[in-house]
Amino acid sequence: MITREEIFAKIKGDLPTLPVIVTRILKTIFDEGSSIKDISKIVRLDSALTSKVLRVVNSAAFSLPKQISTLDHALAILGLETLKKILLSLSIFDTIFQEDKANCLFNKSYFWRHSLAVANVAQNIAHGLHYEHPDEAYVAGLLHDVGKIIMEQILGEDYTNYLKKLTINPTIMSTQSEDEYLSVNHALIGKLALEKWDLPESLQKAVELHHGTKEKDSEMINELTAIVSVADFICWTQALGSFKIFFHPTLAPEIEKIINLKDLKIGPIMEEMNKDLTLNAKMFNFQADDLKGFIESIQKANFELGRINSLYDNTKKKLEKHVQQLNTLNTIICKTREIMEPSQIIQNVLGGLNEGFGFPRLIWFSINMNKRMIIPEVVCGNFEDNQTLVTVGYELDDEIGLALFNCTKNKKISHIRYYNDDVTPASCLLKSLSSNELLLVPIKTNKKVMDLFLIDNPMENVFISDDLIKVLDILAVNVGMALENARLFQNTAQMAIIDTLTGVYNRRQLDLSLNNEIKRSTRYGQSFSIAIIDVDHFKTMNDTYGHQAGDITLKDVAGIIKDSSRNIDIVGRYGGDEFLVILPNTKLDGALIFAERVRLGVEKNSLLKRKDFPKCLITVSIGVARI
């Protein structure tokens, strides 16, 4: 492993100096009297930077109706504040970034997104605190983790191995662990880099101390350092870290002596960060999750974390427990964002609550308003003595069903405990589970509550505190949004392959399925058959009774074909009044039996519809072939 002294020598000798153009940009930004004309003069000195500014203004971020070809026009559109941020990002990161290495755990996109987010939050905190130089806070936030880039470039494989340790155990992430594993930490490396680049001492101190100090040096923390530290903390809590690692941070007590989280207007700060990230994502082509819907939960999480961290010294056990819960929460939420299958999201949530929090039994319910039923969808744990609740569900008017439904109407978590003289619907629910305590958690979306899950704590082996309920409340908000997005995605994907009129596959999906079946058949030497089904005299039906009657006929025929098919058969509308059915592992005689089953089904249906369409007898012609 490379020694600490060798690392320092490399920084002094190998680290590139900031180009003159970058230095001039920084000086202009720190000058509160600077104007867009002053910055324009600097940009014109560098043709490459001019080209990059034009590229950005013509990107999807601004959605301009026509291409901008002159710098003056571009600067007028961007404005002074946006231009400052763009120039900083383009010039500084182009100077210190190298190309991503193959199989490298250090992801440039994640790091850049984190740095931009911290810079934006730091600037907004500075504005809220009336800090004298908010632009200085932006630059400090942008450069706070620059030491990580330098360590990745200098340490190579040693740094990659350290990142591998973090993926296994994120709780070791700290400057202390970097010193232990790498003999140096990124905060100190960043400070040395800024020192070499001759940047102001205030920035050097903010970069060096943004993770806090040893107790004896706590007086060294100033307001700028605290601003950057809180901004970094907030971004990590929202899964906007510099690595793709599930990690929940802690805030040094000396930081909170300068900035109290409760005094911050978290909502506006996060809204501004969301806008800025969305813009940067389009300009620099990286992924940025929309955080708008998480503002309420963000406020709760940050305030709670602030309260816990401010009592760190005398509540260590409580803090460790809560951090563990928040880590589990963060892991569950991050996993839900990566999945687009609703049932898998539900399984992950219940599994995470079972393994991460120790709850022995959980049930996920959906609400079917058409049937007026609360229906169990997924069960986790042993419910052998409660088959009705976990297999059938209850009507909304039933006593137990009413206890569940009331929770969805209130849209709040219900903490239910057993009392001897209690005869409410909630007590009946407890008795049906032979339990002493449970939680009902409604899954919230922007529209309404259509899901909830039950957490059974039969022997009260898990202590259900107010903090835990707040954690579950945040989980419910995030899972609700993830489910809503997954169901929307699923519906959209379904619409792309399903014929909207008949509910069977469309022509595009049929062609794909037929091609796949041919390949499978060729590979394994297994034959299959197809059936082409044509509705007879369909034009006569349309001409006599109208197209609505024709639609009814096609729906009826499609339903009969589906009912006559096996689960492995593929049914689709080939076009107009024609249907195609792919029959895997089926010989010709089997295909003929299927065709006769369909023909008889259509004939039976035609007789039932004779009163509605007396002039048209609905029949089908069917052709089969073995492939």
Q: Are residues 577 and 477 in the same domain?
A: no
Residue 501 included in any domain = no
Q: Are residues 280 and 194 in the same domain?
A: yes
Q: By C-alpha distance, which of 307, 274, 281, 329 is closest to 469?
A: 329
Residue 557 included in any domain = yes
CB atoms within 10 A of CB 495: 11
Q: Are residues 483 and 350 in the same domain?
A: yes
Alpha-carbon gap, residue 486 to 496, rounded angstroms: 15
Contacts of residue 565, Cβ cutoff 8 Å, sequence gap at least 6: 571, 581, 594
Task: List alpha helices for 156-265, DSSP H.
Answer: 157-168, 175-182, 186-196, 201-209, 223-237, 253-256
Counted domains in the chain: 3
Looking at 255, 281, 314, which one is the last position of a domain?
314
Residue 500 included in any domain = no
Alpha-carbon gap, residue 546 to 332, rounded angstroms: 53
Per-range mean pLDDT, top range of 22-26, 77-81, 282-286, 400-404: 400-404
Alpha-carbon gap, residue 177 to 4, rounded angstroms: 14
Whether pLDDT at 314 is above 50: no
Distances from the Cα of 225 to the Cα of 203, 207, 208, 209, angstroms: 8, 7, 9, 7
Alpha-carbon gap, residue 623 to 558, rounded angstroms: 16
- Asked if 553 and 538 touch (Cβ cutoff 8 Å), the reply is yes
- Asked if 243 and 171 touch (Cβ cutoff 8 Å), the reply is no
- Asked if 29 and 88 touch (Cβ cutoff 8 Å), the reply is yes
* Predicted confidence (pLDDT) per residue in 197-207, tens digit: 888 899 999 99
User: Which pLDDT does position 49 carry in this prediction?
Assistant: 74
Split at pLDDT 50, 70, 90, the class of 306 is very low
Mean pLDDT lowest among 46-60, 148-162, 278-292, 599-613: 278-292
Q: Are residues 128 and 13 in the same domain?
A: yes
- Residue percentage of the chain with pLDDT more than 70: 85
Q: Are residues 238 and 336 in the same domain?
A: no
For residue 95, give the CATH number of its domain. Answer: 1.10.3210.10
Whether pLDDT at 335 is above 90: no
Alpha-carbon gap, residue 454 to 463, rounded angstroms: 16
- In the beta sheet, which residues pair with residue 572? 505, 580
Looking at 314, 338, 372, which one is the last position of a domain?
314
CA 273 to chain centroid: 17
User: Which pLDDT does position 408 carry in this prediction?
Assistant: 80
User: Which pLDDT does position 206 carry in this prediction?
Assistant: 92
Q: Are residues 139 and 215 in the same domain?
A: yes
Place of tokens 């959605």: 63
Whether pLDDT at 381 is above 80: yes
User: Which pLDDT does position 286 carry in this prediction?
Assistant: 62
Q: Are residues 335 and 241 in the same domain?
A: no
Whether pLDDT at 532 is above 90: yes
70 versus 593: which is more confidently predicted? 593
User: Which pLDDT does position 313 carry in this prediction?
Assistant: 42
Looking at 314, 336, 369, which one is the last position of a domain?
314
Boundaries of domain holding 514: 507-626
Q: Are residues 222 and 371 in the same domain?
A: no
Mean pLDDT of 553-577: 92
Query: φ, ψ for residue 340 (rounded to 5)?
Result: -115, 15
* Predicted confidence (pLDDT) per residue in 263-272, tens digit: 888 778 888 8
DSSP letters along 125-181, please?
HHHHTT-S-HHHHHHHHHHTTHHHHHHHHHHTHHHHHHHHHHHH-GGG-SHHHHHHH
Residue 189 included in any domain = yes
Split at pLDDT 50, 70, 90, the class of 399 is confident
User: Which pLDDT does position 466 carry in this prediction?
Assistant: 84
Residue 218 included in any domain = yes
Alpha-carbon gap, residue 612 to 487, rounded angstroms: 38
With b for 16 or more beta-carbon neighbours within 10 A and e for fewer, the 239-273 pattern comes to bbbbbebbbbbbbbebbbebbebeebebeebbeeb
Contacts of residue 66, Cβ cutoff 8 Å, sequence gap at least 6: none
Burial class of residue 456 in the structure, from the number of CB atoms within 10 Å of its CB (0-12 exposed, 13-18 middle, 19+ buried): buried
Whether pLDDT at 299 is above 50: no
Q: With DSSP H G I counted as helix, E B as strand and the rest as coil, what are the percentages for the chain, rounded to 5?
A: 60, 10, 30
* Predicted confidence (pLDDT) per residue in 88-119, tens digit: 776 666 665 555 555 566 777 788 888 888 99
- Residue percentage of the chain with pLDDT more than 90: 16
Q: Are residues 390 and 490 in the same domain?
A: yes
Contacts of residue 364, Cβ cutoff 8 Å, sequence gap at least 6: 346, 349, 350, 376, 377, 378, 379, 451, 452, 453, 454
Q: Are residues 227 and 340 in the same domain?
A: no
245 versus 480: which is more confidently predicted? 480
- In the beta sheet, which residues pair with residue 623? 532
- Asked if 533 and 557 touch (Cβ cutoff 8 Å), the reply is yes
Whether pLDDT at 529 is above 60: yes
The per-residue pLDDT of the chain, averaged, comes to: 81
Residue 499 included in any domain = no
186 versus 77: which is more confidently predicted? 186
User: Helix or strand or coil: residue 622?
Assistant: strand
Split at pLDDT 50, 70, 90, the class of 320 is low
Alpha-carbon gap, residue 105 to 160, rounded angstroms: 6
For residue 512, give the CATH number of its domain. Answer: 3.30.70.270
Residue 427 included in any domain = yes
Q: Are residues 415 and 559 in the same domain?
A: no
- Record the tokens describing residue 215, joined without a space: 């107790």
Contacts of residue 283, Cβ cutoff 8 Å, sequence gap at least 6: 56, 59, 61, 86
pTM to 2 decimals?
A: 0.48
User: Which pLDDT does position 39 carry in this prediction?
Assistant: 76
Q: Are residues 267 and 376 in the same domain?
A: no
Split at pLDDT 50, 70, 90, the class of 527 is confident
User: Which pLDDT does position 97 carry in this prediction?
Assistant: 58
Alpha-carbon gap, residue 243 to 593, rounded angstroms: 60
For residue 462, give the CATH number of its domain. Answer: 3.30.450.40
DSSP letters along 306-340, please?
HHHHHTTTT-HHHHHHHHHHHHHHHHHHHHHHH--
Whether pLDDT at 421 is above 70: no
Whether pLDDT at 383 is above 90: no
Whether pLDDT at 432 is above 70: yes
Mean pLDDT of 273-286: 74
Mean pLDDT of 161-170: 84
User: Which pLDDT does position 19 carry in this prediction?
Assistant: 67
213 versus 527: which is more confidently predicted? 527
Place of tokens 């009657």: 549
Place of tokens 């005398």: 314
* Predicted confidence (pLDDT) per residue in 445-456, tens digit: 766 778 888 988
User: Which pLDDT does position 623 carry in this prediction?
Assistant: 94
Mean pLDDT lowest among 123-132, 310-319, 431-440: 310-319
- Asked if 442 and 405 touch (Cβ cutoff 8 Å), the reply is no
Whether pLDDT at 285 is above 70: no
Residue 245 included in any domain = yes
User: Which pLDDT does position 310 carry in this prediction?
Assistant: 46
Burial class of residue 79 in the structure, from the number of CB atoms within 10 Å of its CB (0-12 exposed, 13-18 middle, 19+ buried): exposed
